[in-house]
Amino acid sequence: MKGMSSIVKKITQLLSGMIFLYGIYIITHGHLTPGGGFAGGAIIAASLIILVLAFGGDELTVVKRKEGSSVTESLAILAFLLFASFALIIGTNIFFHNYLPEGIIGNLVSAGVIPLYNILVGIEVAAALFTIILAFIIYKEEISK
Amino acid sequence: MSWLITLFVILPMTAAFLIPVIGKLIKGFQKTITSVVFLFLTVLSLFFLFDGNTEVYSYKIGGWEPVNGVPIAIYFVIDGFTILMLSIINLIGFFSAFYAISYIRRFTAENNFYTLLCLMVGGMNGVVMTGDLFNLFVFLEIAVIASYALVAFGVEKNELEASFKYQVLGGIASLLILFGIGLIYWKTKTLNIADVSDILKYSNDRSFLLFTQIILIAGFGLKGAMIPFHAWLPDAHSSAPSPISAMLSGVLIKAIGIYCIIRLFFNMFIINHEISLVFIILGSLSMVLGVFLAVGQWDIKRLLAYHSISQMGYVIIGVGIGMMILANNGNKSVAALAITGGLFHLINHAVFKSLLFLNAGAIEYKTGTRNLKELGGLFAYMPVTYSTSLGASMAISGIPPFNGFFSKLLIILAAIKGRFYLVAFLAVVVSIITLASFMKFQKFSFFNKSSITEKPKIKEVPFPMCFSMIVLAILCLGLSLLIFPGVRETVLTPVVDILMNTTDYSSTIKDI
């Protein structure tokens, strides 16, 4: 896939970092403010997607990136399942048990396991949306051949 | 029992997401883990089925206790009906996965196949276990979205068209179900099925209830392919890979269509005359029209798919008659007989219809065609496929020693005792036409010697496919035992009790 003009490239470079940071903010404050894993993950995916669209890349690198993001997605879900069933393994017999200390309401580090779930959901959503876009790009490359 | 029931969701999901990670590194990992997980879950569910404990059991996810008697956690509810459905889902899932070990070699992307299969089974397990309406919707979407992808797995023109049709109609169904759930939530301010049932008991807003019920019948009817909503089923079930057709036809339309209808209309809503009449009419329509559409088909899998519609009609009639008699305060023993017949036919249909789809897959695997006109004379070359499909054909057409006979007999007896003479007559006629169409299937695929000389190289299918077919054929005979007293009390009676005493479900769960 061909990249875009140098103006677009430069502006994308400037913006994508900020978008990425904003996504992280939304994810980590998921238990305090509106938003959370899904919304933040979508924002992070957007920051990665505009980079791919602006800079392009040959087909091989796109396929490689897709494999990487697909594995990341699976690993995030596995980690989520592990966190959720951790209490089952250690013997409290409760699925999705909130076993960490809950802290003070309103602090960034509070609410036990929920921020961790948010972070994993964020990784999974970002990787999944990125994979979908890359699959579209690969499909378009194959069609145009 | 306790926390072990969460394994029915955790294990398939873990397997599903381990496969894309580890499957690339270790050869054969995907086949092994899928079969092992399903076998383990089958054994676990059969253990629950036969341990003699018939109490309703509820598991609170996250450990949230009810506040002032209002349940706030998501509940997993385990009763006889759930355990029965779990056994069917995981049993058929295991045989399909084992059969696929040989069958799916023709396709690329085996990892994706097994991932999607695990997700579908995990979703269905969740649907039958959950006691929460929105959770039901979420698991239902997991199961059906995996099935959309699996229908399109061949990525040819027909498969993609069938999958698109299935997606559009399935999307409408999901929308209707979500709308119905939204209406219930708006009215009752709760999503827990037991709690909703408790509140609806005192509600006198009749028009609202009927509207919600009809929306839900349309939604789940689309998923379960009753006749006015059946358009997607013949395409989708015939173009999926054969193990998946067996799963879709044998389990999916039951777990996310019929199970949800029975659970919600018996245990959540109050039974009434009008809705049960709707069920009897829809069931009769499905039964009659399905078989007439089936008998003219020349594509084996399309023929089987139309028969699924027709056979599900029997289940709906059985349950509908039971519901009608309960609503009119009729003879309870007749109602119990009708519901037993319906549920028994549901189990039987899962077994023989999956077997028939696996047979069709075996024929397609060796000959490369599904068209009955091009087949013939296979009985000498494929003895296992021939004998197992003969057993399944006799079971579906209701020939005495096989399980299909007993369940149809129960439904027809209940219809006569409950004075639904027309329904009983139609059920007998449909059974005869079913026999005719399966004689056609047997004759054109296995006998009919016209084209026999052209296929000297055909041999029997490999061991995993033979194994699945033989065990399912034995089950076709063995499940007849469920009708006898002693076995019936352990398996079918707890389920019928749950459905007959409609309000017990909510009161037991609220008490726990």
User: Of A77, A92, A95, which has the smallest distance from its Cβ to B61's Cβ?
Assistant: A95
Q: Does B10 touch chain A (CB under 8 A)?
A: yes
Instruction: Indicate whether B409 pLDDT > 80.
Output: yes
Tell which phi-psi region holds residue A33, choosing left (phi > 0), alpha (psi between -120 and 50) or beta. Answer: beta
Quote the CA–CA distance of B131 and B121 in Å, as a whole number.
18
Instruction: Indicate whether A18 pLDDT > 90.
Output: yes
Residue A64: HSE in the Cβ half-sphere, 13 Å Cα cutoff? 5
Question: What domain count does chain B have?
Answer: 1
Domain assignments of chain A as residue spans, ordered by start: 6-144
User: Of A77, A84, A96, which has the smallest distance from its Cβ to B17's Cβ?
Assistant: A77
Please, where are the H alpha helices in B61-131?
80-103, 110-129
Angle at B14 between CA B11 and CA B20, to 5 degrees: 140
How far off is chain B from A70, nearest CA to CA, in Å?
Answer: 8
Q: Provide, for chain A, the percentages of residues in helix, strand and coil under a 3-state DSSP scheme, each rounded to the nearest 5.
A: 70, 0, 30
Residue A103: Cβ within 10 Å count: 13
Q: What are the structure tokens assigned to B172, written together?
A: 């409408």
pLDDT for B456 = 61
Please, where are the H alpha helices in B155-192?
157-188
pLDDT for A138 = 86
Residue showing tokens 């698109």: B164
| pLDDT mean over B76-85 | 88
Quote the CA–CA distance of B161 and B240 in Å, as a whole number.
11
The secondary structure of residue B408, as a DSSP letter, is: H
Q: Does B18 touch chain A (CB under 8 A)?
A: yes
Dihedral of CA atoms B15, B261, B341, B242 in degrees, nearest 10, equals -40
Note the maximum CA span of chain B.
77
pLDDT for B451 = 56
Residue predicted with more confidence, B131 or B3: B131
How far off is chain A from B151, nearest CA to CA, in Å?
Answer: 19
| pLDDT mean over B129-137 | 91
Q: What are the structure tokens assigned to B118, written together?
A: 């695990």
pLDDT band at residue B454 under the 50/70/90 scheme: low
Nearest to B123 by CA among B301, B263, B256: B256
How far off is chain B from A65, nearest CA to CA, in Å?
Answer: 15
Q: By residue range, what is the domain housing residue B161?
A: 2-511
Q: Cα B295 to the chain's mean position, in Å?
A: 22
